[in-house]
Structure 1
Amino acid sequence: MLVIGREVGEVIAIDEHIKVKVLSVEGNVVRFGISAPREIEVHRAEIYRRIVEQLAKDAG
């Protein structure tokens, strides 16, 4: 795991198409803005887990 410290307003580049910007930090809550092409799905981990579970159920 890569650990990067950033301040509000700073950006992390995943590649030339995906950018993550720190919008705010309030206590233990960090708000990010994510820019990615529409064809790339971006989900919180708990939502992604539900999607994977549902796909597994649908597959059989």
Structure 2
Amino acid sequence: MLVLTRKLKESIMIGDEIELTILAIDGEQIKLGINAPKNIEIHRKEIYLAIQTENNEALKTEVNVLKNLSAFIQDYK
């Protein structure tokens, strides 16, 4: 992990297209501004993990549906 120190209004670049700017500091919280291309999704980590969990559950459901459909077709023949 890279650890950098930044002051209010200072930025960090990630690659050529993503800029993180410190917008405000309030006690133990900071406000980050993120400037990135629209094709890059940006989520808080807990939201990102929830999305991944939901996607995995949906994938399992699709596999089960396909198995049931395959069994139904085999029985129909």
TM-score by length of 2: 0.76
Unaligned runs of 5+ in 2: 61-77
Q: Please name the residue that 1:47 is paired with.
A: 47
**Bigger helix share:** 2
Deviation above 6 Å: which 4+ runs of structure 1?
Answer: none
The CA distance in 1 between the partners of 2:44 and 2:58, in whole Å, is 21
**Bigger strand share:** 1
Unaligned runs of 5+ in 1: none
Across the aligned residues of Structure 1 and Structure 2, the Cα RMSD in angstroms comes to: 0.4
* Matched position secondary structure for 2:17: coil
The CA distance in 2 between the partners of 1:55 and 1:30, in whole Å, is 30
Deviations 1:7-40 (A, max 9, x none): 0100000011000000011100010000010100
Deviations 1:34-56 (A, max 9, x none): 00101000100000010000000
Q: Please name the residue that 1:15 is paired with.
A: 15
Larger Rg, first or second structure (1 or 2): 2
